[in-house]
Each structure stands twice: as structure tokens, then as C-alpha cells.
Amino acid sequence: MRRFCVTSAAVLLLSGFASACGGDDEPVPASGPRAGATASPASTPAASATPEATATAPAPATVTPPVRTPTPRPGIGGGGEDQEGGAGDEEAIVETLRVLVDGEGVKPQVLRVAPSIPFKLIVKNDLPARLTVDFEGQNIAFVVDANSTYEQFVSGLPKGRYEYQVSHLDTGVIEVGS
């Protein structure tokens, strides 16, 4: 009797998997066989089981396939946005250029960046005095306190060679598009 109950439960469980994996486009009724399918005595326990066997048999399990939700990863396309704004509001490419000012002057003397690409210029002042950085003819100037670091955003420059003066101590060059 026990073997019959286990076998019946296994058949019910497997028939639940089979109906969940169907390839038909027709809707499947919540209970009962599909249209056009014939019921066999092995697949319907009520036809061949005694009333006490059906009372102790477990209820047929409904198997729902797992729903996969794509998880967007930073830096990798393919995922939808999880914020307002839609396409076109992504952050632009921003390059980072680093300069060190110490007792020997500006290092490196020449920095390079692509034309029209915005960049962040990070100036580290290792001197005990405040510095002024001034880009000649570009309306870009800022102050870097003693023994500190300052970041200046530059929205992109056309192709060319741009000199900057560091507190009359030294000069540096940013070459754009070379």
C-alpha cells in the first residue's frame, strides 16, 4: 500500500512538471487534463485508488518555474535603468589628469588628453605655501592650499597646446589631441 502511495505521488509530481514545461500556446486549465489528452488509470489516482489511499496521499504540487530578473552590473550594458530620465542621461566620459607640485616643480611637465573630452585635473601641492594655477587665455584658475590636493573639472578643450602657470614657480602643458 505504501509503495502505491509513493508511486502515485511521484506520478502526480512528474505530471505537474510536464504540464509546466509544455510547449503549446494554448492555455492549460488549472485542473484536469489538457484538451485532447486521454487520462490513463496510472495518471488519475481516484480511478484506481481506494478512498483511504487518496486521503493519505499528498496533494498535487503546483510547480511554477522561477522568474529570472536581470541584475544590471555597473559598467556593463544590457540592463534597463532603475531611475528616471531614460536613455541619453548617462554620465559622459571624464578623464583624470594628475599633477604633483613640489620643490622640484611641476611633475609631469606635459599631460595629454583627447579633444573635447572633459577631464578632472588633480593638483597635489607638496609645498608649505598656497599655489595658484592659471591657464593662460582659458579663464581657468584655482588655488591649491599648502600640503593639500585640489580637483578642478574642465569641460573639454579643442585640439591644441595649453600652458598653465603655477604661482610663478613653474609651468606645465596640457596637449589636447596630439
Query: Domain locations in the chain?
Result: 2-22+31-56, 95-176
What is residue 163's predicted lDDT score, i.e. its pLDDT? 95
Once rounded to an integer, what is the mean pLDDT over residues 110-135? 95
Once rounded to an integer, what is the mean pLDDT over residues 128-135? 95
**What percent of the chain shows pLDDT beyond 90?**
41
What is residue 84's predicted lDDT score, i.e. its pLDDT? 64
156 pLDDT band, cuts 50/70/90, is confident
* 118 in Cβ contact with 93 (< 8 Å): yes
Q: What is the mean pLDDT of the chain?
A: 73
**Given the C-alpha cell 500500500, which residue does it identify?**
1
Is 33 a residue whose pLDDT tops 70?
no
What is residue 136's predicted lDDT score, i.e. its pLDDT? 86
* 161 in Cβ contact with 175 (< 8 Å): yes
Q: What whole-number distance in Å separates Cα of residue 51 and Cα of residue 118?
A: 79
Is 137 a residue whose pLDDT tops 60?
yes
What is residue 85's predicted lDDT score, i.e. its pLDDT? 59
What is residue 121's predicted lDDT score, i.e. its pLDDT? 95
The neighbouring-strand residues paired with 96 are 120
| Sheet containing 148-154, strands listed edge to edge, beginning at the edge strand earlier in sequence | 105-107, 95-102, 119-125, 148-154
In one-letter notation, the amino acid at residue 166 is: V
Is 80 a residue whose pLDDT tops 60?
no
Output the CATH code of domain 95-176.
2.60.40.420
Q: What whole-number distance in Å separates Cα of residue 101 and Cα of residue 147?
A: 10
Q: What angle do CA 29, 34, 37 make, to 5 degrees?
A: 165
What is residue 34's predicted lDDT score, i.e. its pLDDT? 52
Is 76 a residue whose pLDDT tops 60?
no
